[in-house]
Amino acid sequence: MDSSFVRRQARHGWVAIDFTELWRYRELLYFQAIRDIKVRYKQTFLGALWAILQPVMTMIVFSFFFGKLAKVPSDGIPYPVFAFCALLPWQLFAYALTYSSNSLVDNANVLSKVYFPRLILPIAAVMAGLVDFLIAFFVLAGMMFYYGIFPGWALITLPLFTLLAIAAALSVGFWLSALNVKYRDIRYTLPFLSQLWLFITPVAYSSSLVPEKWKAVYGINPMVGVVEGFRWALLGKSTLPWSMLIVSVIATALLLVGGLLYFRRMEKSFADIV
Amino acid sequence: MSEIAVNVEGLSKQYRIGERNSYPMFREALIKAVSAPFKKLRFKLAGKQVSKTDLIWALKDVSFKVDKGEIVGIIGRNGAGKSTLLKILSGITEPTVGYADIYGRIGSLLEVGTGFHMELTGRENIFMNGALLGMRRHEIKKKFDEIVDFSEVEAFLDTPVKRYSSGMYMRLAFAVAAHLEPEIMLVDEVLAVGDAVFQKKCLGKMGNIAKQGRTVLFVSHNMAAVRSLCTQAYSLDAGKILYHGATHDVVDHYLKSVKSPKRLKHYTLDQRQDRLGDGSAKIVSLKIEDENGDEIINSSSRLKLTIGYRSEKPILHPQFSATIYDFSDIGLISLHSERTNDLPEVLPPEGQVTCVTEPLYITPGRCFINLALLKGGMRADYIEHAAYFDVEAHDIYGSGKLPERNWVVCLRKYTWSTVGNKSE
């Protein structure tokens, strides 16, 4: 009997995730992510500087209007650092929201001509976003040094919050990329969705402004837990709003598993309708 | 008993007509979700079934077995289900009913250059494309020199492929794909790339793959290639296996069946919006057939075009023009009534004109027709790409061999002989 045997037949309903196959295609994942990064900054004047420019400009605008003029309280942390620290995971998420969600539609010709695990595409898009995230991280380190903010022991939890951010990014990527294949409205909703989502995430303001009794509900937005977690791990001043964080983690887990299942369910029809 | 590589049982694939082109809107889905239960109820009450008319079977109850090391050709008209079959076997799409068992690592080559990125260099694309086709990085590294050698683009390896000529691009793309080493290879029409010399090289490469004992399923319109590569062949028509057996028999049978008449090809054009001209007279329909009324146009058909027109008033000094273009918009034949001067000076406000040609003698492939109607030298109506037709292969030399469209367009009958042969 041959070691590699497959049966192609109709699969009905929910389909399990084939992790061994994903692992076998890990190099494609890597190349796809590298390609996304290379292509993104090819023939641009500023190149990778864009990765820094975008969050820095946003930070400056936020600092001026929200920090200086509106005097939004920032939990005793200098407003620019306060905002930039939140913009870091936010950019990753917003990137996923756009690129991961469009990843299947943008690769329609490949989808209908070559077989590979379709999950590669939205995952690769999130991975490509991680590069921007890392570059911007150095800017944050510089800013913290400038303002004399040094993280405490909580810093060791940062990888966990980064994972949470990645999970949140992946989950929207799975949901929206699969939906986008079927419903092209999604594409037009994305800019609007990312704008709206920014407002319901404590990037420009602090979640401490949210009344206590609403905090658990507020935490349903996965990015609430991520952003507050980042501030807690890196800037260390505020206390960690546990209830909100737990709700966020649960929400992310549900969204991620649901997204994966939905993606797998829709996957078989991608090549037919994309 | 020989080992089986592919075993297909009752494979069927159903598509919804228009599924590929129309994207349901989210709003419609929401409305559907709300109204569906009511609709179902209404259907149930009325004892009706949901309409099945917009469903078509691209593949219907196809069963066959391929032994290890066999090279099997799959032929058939456009839309016969060949590509659907390969897509199911490669896992791109799922069958609706039935199954296909595949014993061994499978690799598919359904389109040369898929996944190539214009902004990336040749070198980057080799790795990227290799990974996409299922090659591991160490495999690609091992084969890298061979791939570059085969593609003849060494000098441009670090140039983005957008600066490549189309020939270079195709050569590189084929080279990557040809160096895949799956146990079972699915190939769809890849020989239709590049110049004649490169095509020959590709064909040679395919032959080598065959000699290494790998199993190949080869879909092609190129009967000569199928004949020279494959031992067994299947001919598909309308999603079913029409004929199967030794390649020569199947190809002969296919070429004969291509000649059999089918429904008429009739284009209604009065709703077309993308037209130019002053609109004082309009081309409303076009019928494409051969002089005997067959819809199948083959390499030696006499083409007959029947153009319907409409106008407010009788048309003075009418001129009709039909120009036939090939796939890359190169003009092949111009049929202009001004040159032959055989239309009357005045045409009634509504009617039809027809044009019949000599045998086309052009290579198999798709042709587009641009139509124009002139009135006293002024352009009244003009429709670009008003219609297309496919020229099917016709064995005009009686050898089953025809040159390919991307090499030459014109065919002529000819004879070769030795000079000064006394025995005549």
Give the ipTM: 0.81
Q: Using CA atoms, how far apart are residues A23 and B373, in angstroms rounded to an integer?
A: 61
What pLDDT, on the 0 to 100 scale, is given for residue B102? 92
Q: Which two tokens stand for residue B381?
A: 């109506």
Pick B17 or B71 by higher pLDDT. B71
Whole-angstrom distance, CA of residue B156 vs CA of residue B123? 9
Query: How far is C-alpha B228 from the chain's CA centre?
Result: 21
Mean pLDDT score of chain B, rounded to an integer? 82
What are B333's strand-pairing partners? B324
Torsion of CA B163, B166, B172, B174, to 10 degrees: 160
pLDDT for position B178: 80
Residue B263: band (very low, low, confident or very high) from pLDDT cuts 50, 70, 90 = very low
Please tell me the CATH superfamily of domain B4-13+64-258, with its number: P-loop containing nucleotide triphosphate hydrolases (3.40.50.300)
Spatial strand order in the sheet of B97-103: A5-9, B97-103, B4-16, B55-67
**Over 50: is that where the pLDDT of A127 sits?**
yes
How would you classify the pairing of strands B297-298 and B315-316?
unpaired
Q: Is the pLDDT of residue B46 over 90?
A: no
Contacts of B103 in chain A (CB under 8 A): 2, 4-5
- Is beta strand B302-311 parallel, antiparallel or unpaired with respect to B281-290? antiparallel
Cβ contacts (< 8 Å) between B124 and chain A: which residues?
35, 38
Closest C-alpha among A125, A133, A98 to residue A36:
A125
Mean of per-residue pLDDT scores for chain A: 89
* Sheet-wide strand order for B215-219: B106-109, B184-188, B215-219, B71-76, B232-237, B240-246
The string of DSSP codes covering B45-73 is HHT-PPP-TTEEEEEEEEEEEEETT-EEE
A36 alpha carbon, distance to own chain's centre: 16
CB contact under 8 A, A116 and B101: no
**pLDDT tens digits for A68-109?**
999 888 888 899 999 999 999 999 999 999 999 999 999 988
Residue B297: enclosing H or E segment and its boundaries?
strand B297-298
Chain B CB within 8 Å of residue A7 CB: yes
B contacts of A182 (beta carbons < 8 Å):
23-24, 29
Residue A7: beta bridge partners? B101
Residue with tokens 């070198």: B123
Asked if A184 reaches chain B (Cβ–Cβ under 8 Å), the answer is yes
| Structure tokens belonging to residue B298 | 């083959």
Superfamily of domain B265-392: abc- transporter (atp binding component) like domain (2.70.50.60)
Listed by start position, the domains of chain B span: 4-13+64-258, 265-392
DSSP annotation of A63 reads I
> Tell me: the pLDDT tens digits for B79-115?
788 888 999 998 888 999 999 999 988 888 777 777 8
pTM of the complete model: 0.72
Count other C-beta atoms under 10 Å from residue B314's C-beta.
Answer: 13
- Encode pLDDT of A154-191 as tens digits: 899 999 999 999 999 999 999 999 999 988 888 888 99
Cα of B70 to nearest chain A Cα, Å = 17
Whole-Å CA distances, A262 to A176, B205, B273: 10, 42, 41
pLDDT digits (tens, 9 = 90+) for B191-244: 555 566 777 777 787 778 777 878 889 888 777 778 888 889 999 988 899 889
Residue with tokens 């309009």: B282
Our CA-based measurement puts residue B299 at a distance from the nearest CA of chain A, in whole angstroms, of: 30
